[in-house]
Amino acid sequence: MPRKKKEDASFGPRLAALRKARGLTQVQLAEATKTTQRSISYYENDDGVPPSSIVMVLAQALQVSADELLGLKPLPKAAAAASEDPETRRLWKRFQVVTQLPEKDQRAVIQLINSLAAVTVPRQGERHGR
C-alpha cells in the first residue's frame, strides 16, 4: 500500500526545515540533542513523533519554542526567512563552527565581527567612507 501524502504543516517537515535553516545536518542535531541520526530521520519523515522530553531538547537545540516546533505558534519571521535564504544558511553554518571553538576563541571571533561591523556599517546620518 502506498504511503499517504504528508501535510506540509506536520511535525517532520517543520523539524527538517528548522534544522536546515540552522545549517545543521541530522548528525549534528542528533549530537546536540544526545540522540541518534536515525531518530532525527525517523521524526523528519513523520514516521513517529518524539516524546515531549525530546521535543523540548529539539526546540532548545533549534532555538525555537516547543510551540513553534510543534506548529502551535507561527515561527518568528527571522526564522522563517532564514530557512529560505541560502546566504543566511551558509553564514549560519559558519557560526555553528564558531560555537565549537574554545570560549576565548569565540570571544575573539565576536570581537572581530563587531569591529568589522562598526567599520563597514555607517552610523545613522553618516556616509560610508567618510
Q: According to DSSP H, which parts of 1-129 are helical? A: 11-21, 26-32, 37-44, 52-62, 66-70, 77-82, 86-98, 103-120
Does some domain include residue 3?
A: no
pLDDT digits (tens, 9 = 90+) for 55-93: 999 999 998 999 989 988 887 665 555 556 677 767 767
Task: Identify the residue whose cell numbers are 541560502.
Answer: 86
Residue 15 lies in a domain: yes
Can you give the residue range of the structural domain that contains 29? 11-120
Identify the pLDDT of residue 8.
Answer: 45
Within a domain: 25:
yes
Q: What is the pLDDT of residues 99-117, one digit of tens each?
A: 778 889 888 888 888 888 7
CB-based contact 53:61 (threshold 8 Å): no
Whether residue 78 contacts residue 88, with contact meaning beta carbons closer than 8 Å, is answered with no
Residue 5 falls within a domain, yes or no?
A: no
CATH classification of the domain holding 71: 1.10.260.40
Residue 82 lies in a domain: yes
Judge whether 84 lies within some domain. Answer: yes
d(CA 96, CA 130): 34
In a domain, 53, yes or no: yes
Q: In terms of pTM, does the model score above 0.85?
A: no
d(CA 32, CA 21): 15
The count of structural domains within the chain is: 1
